[in-house]
Amino acid sequence: MFAFGALLSRFVPSVVLVMASVAALSPPAQAAGPHPAPLAGDARPVIEQFLQNQAAGLPGRVVITIDTPMSGALPPCDALEPFLPGGARLWGRVSVGVRCNAGQPWTRYVPAYVAVHGNYYVAARPLSAGQVLTPADAAVREGDLTALPRGVVVDAAQFDGVTALNSIASGAPLRRESLRAAIAVQQGQNVRLRARGAGFTVSTEGKAMASAAAGALVQVRTAGGQLLSGIALADGTVERVR
């Protein structure tokens, strides 16, 4: 009995070890739940062409994925009309409407994903609040812009000379909401207000009523007491707006 128990105690760990090895080599179980399948049929190229046309002008290379709706494949139709529901934004995951205008009309909604691959900028080093950024403070990256925070900087001109409103960690995407354009006009500063017309330019002196970044609207009080509005320019002048 003792000999059998000793043999069993030596045999059981070996079996356990073999079973653990087999489990480790086995592929993991698939996650439960439906997995969307790519849309098949004649509707796919029609929807894809529609989305490509709608995506013209987006800042990057557009990659479109079209899935089969939960209701199943679309019925056959000789006159398909894709459309975007009111207020839909062609960015990331979208729902595309499809109408059939032949035979027995129907309307379905097809899930799609519009990825926009392009360049964006991240902090090249830790940035402090109030720091004025230069091109050396940012590094370019490439990725799906639709998966990034809204307002991510995609143009180097959007951060050169601006001020960080808060601390930004190294590698974090630069966002327009976290940056403030450099002040072009200070409150109380004497500025030249310029107005342009058909074949003429008129300028006068005035005092800025508030500080303004380049491109921002600012009011100027002239020497005669008149209050006029204009756009602050990077050189400190103000361009009159009507």
Higher pLDDT, 2 or 147: 147
Burial class (CB in 10 A: 0-12, 13-18, 19+), 27: exposed
Instruction: Count Cβ neighbours within 10 Å for each residue of 125-154 and write b for 16 or more, e otherwise.
Output: eebeeeeebeeebbeeeebbbbebeeebbb
For the cut 80, the answer to whether the pLDDT of residue 197 exceeds it is no
Taken as a whole, the chain contains a residue count of: 242
Give the pLDDT mean for 217-235: 88
pLDDT tens column, 131-163: 988 889 999 999 999 999 889 999 888 787 788
Distances (CA, A) of 43 to 51, 67, 69, 96: 12, 11, 12, 12
Q: Judge whether residue 34 has pLDDT over 60.
A: no
Closest Cα partner for 43 from 90, 100, 4, 113?
100
pLDDT above 70 (res 113): yes
What are the structure tokens assigned to 77, written together?
């139709």
45's tokens: 């190229």
The residue extents of the domains of the chain are 43-116, 117-180, 183-240
Q: Of 184, 179, 193, whose CA–CA distance to 229 is shortest?
A: 193
Architecture of domain 183-240: Roll (2.30)
Residue 168: CB atoms within 10 A of its CB come to: 24
* Architecture of the structural domain at 117-180: Alpha-Beta Complex (3.90)
Regarding pTM above 0.75, the answer is no
Percentages helix, strand, coil for the chain (3-state, rounded to 5) are 20, 40, 40
